[in-house]
Amino acid sequence: MKAYVFPGQGAQFVGMGKDLYDGNSDCRAMFERANEILGFSITDLMFAGTPEDLKQTHVTQPAVFLHSVVMAKYLGQEFKPDMVGGHSLGEFSALVAAGAMTFEDGLRLVSARARAMQRCCEATPSTMAAIVKLSDEQVEQICAGITDELVVAANYNNPGQVVVSGTMKGVAAACERAKEMGGKGIPLAVGGAFHSPLMEPARVELAEAIEHTAFVNPCCPIYQNVTGEPVTDAATIKRNLVSQLTSPVRWTATMKNMLRDGATEFIEVGPGKALQGMVKKVNPDINAHAAIEG
């Protein structure tokens, strides 16, 4: 069974998607439509911008989403998922690729999500860090033990890697305690505390946009971030999507549950190779590869 997985923020790179734009008229039309919807030329930033341009949340998220869904379109009849999932932002790409909402609606939601998250980042200085070489339970223990600052487990990426999210001091304290316990904290180059309570204003703002967006049942189960479990009901998908911004990304559970449910091949659709590496941490023998090699 084929599991198609879609990357999130951090997978971007300058030049992403240009081959698809240059080589396929249907793909080019999607890129140009995105420029119209967003009100600026995201293709210029994707194809010839700077790494700093692409690090801006309001650019990064639509860019990664766009690359992913255009790639799924390019695959055409070859895109035959038995299940799909996406890491954080990638969940929106997965939903569009699986037919749960239109490309245009998905892009509008992603753009609204990015702008709302950016406002939260500007309101409260905050950050994230990857904690490695410790168990999930140890990281949760570290976060629970820091009571004077906010820090929570935000991304359960794979066994031995949990990303924490919170205030600057909270994340720094978590990294220090991880070191004391034999682990390591790696600060991430992000502008805010994603998937933490600090994103509550963005969650409220995005919830209204999601409620006014048409969803239908996807062509296959989508394994959503908030539970890691498969969902096919459009109303449930919407509820989970509203919760996603302030809830942890349960990616380890997602991969394990896909394997439990019969996945034999993981195909990463979009920029980067991060999700392939995460799958290999769960099962080193699984067939995991990019949708388009090269």
The per-residue pLDDT for range 184-215, each reduced to its tens digit, is: 999 987 778 999 999 999 999 999 999 999 99
What sign does the dihedral 59-157-69-120 (CA atoms) show?
negative
Q: DSSP 3-state assignment of 261?
A: coil
pLDDT band at 219 (very low <50, low <70, confident <90, very high): very high
Mean pLDDT is lowest, of 37-46, 119-128, 239-248, for 119-128
What is d(CA 138, CA 30) in angstroms, rounded to the nearest whole number? 45
Does 53 reside within a domain? yes
17, 82: one domain: yes
Residue 192 included in any domain = no
Write down the pLDDT at residue 167.
95
Specify if 57 maps to a domain.
yes
> CA–CA separation, 58 vs 41, rounded Å?
12
Asked if 247 is an active-site residue, the reply is no
Across 53-71, average pLDDT: 93
User: What pLDDT digit, counting tens, does each position of 19-55 carry?
Assistant: 999 999 999 999 999 999 999 999 999 999 999 888 8
The verdict on 104 and 229 lying in the same domain is yes
74-93 residue pLDDT tens: 999 899 999 999 999 999 99
Position 271 pLDDT exceeds 70: yes
Quote the distance between the C-alpha of residue 39 and its chain's center. 23
Q: Is 195 a catalytic residue?
A: yes
Same domain, 67 and 161: no
Query: Residue 29's domain is classified under what CATH number?
Result: 3.40.366.10
Together in a domain, 116 and 136: no
**Does residue 280 share a domain with residue 149?**
no
Residues 11 and 157 in one domain: no
CATH number at residue 137: 3.30.70.250
**Contact in structure between 129 and 190 (CB atoms under 8 Å):** no
B/e letters for 152-181, b = 16+ CB within 10 Å, e = fewer, are bbbbbbbeebbbbbbbebbbbbbbebbeee
Q: Which of 163, 187, 211 is the last residue of a domain?
A: 187
Over 70: is that where the pLDDT of 294 sits? no
User: What's this model's pTM, rounded to 2 decimal places?
Assistant: 0.95
Note down the domain range covering 170.
Answer: 125-187
Structure tokens at 44: 């210029």
Out of 167, 187, 207, pick the residue that ends a domain: 187
Q: How many domains does the chain have?
A: 2
Catalytic position from the list 88, 93, 165, 247: 88
Phi, psi of 67 (to 5 degrees): -60, -45
Catalytic residue among 68, 195, 196, 247: 195
CA pair distance 243, 206, nearest whole angstrom: 10
In a domain, 83, yes or no: yes
Mean pLDDT of the chain: 95
Residue range 61-75: mean pLDDT, rounded: 96
Distance in angstroms (rounded) separating the CA atoms of residues 31 and 29 = 5
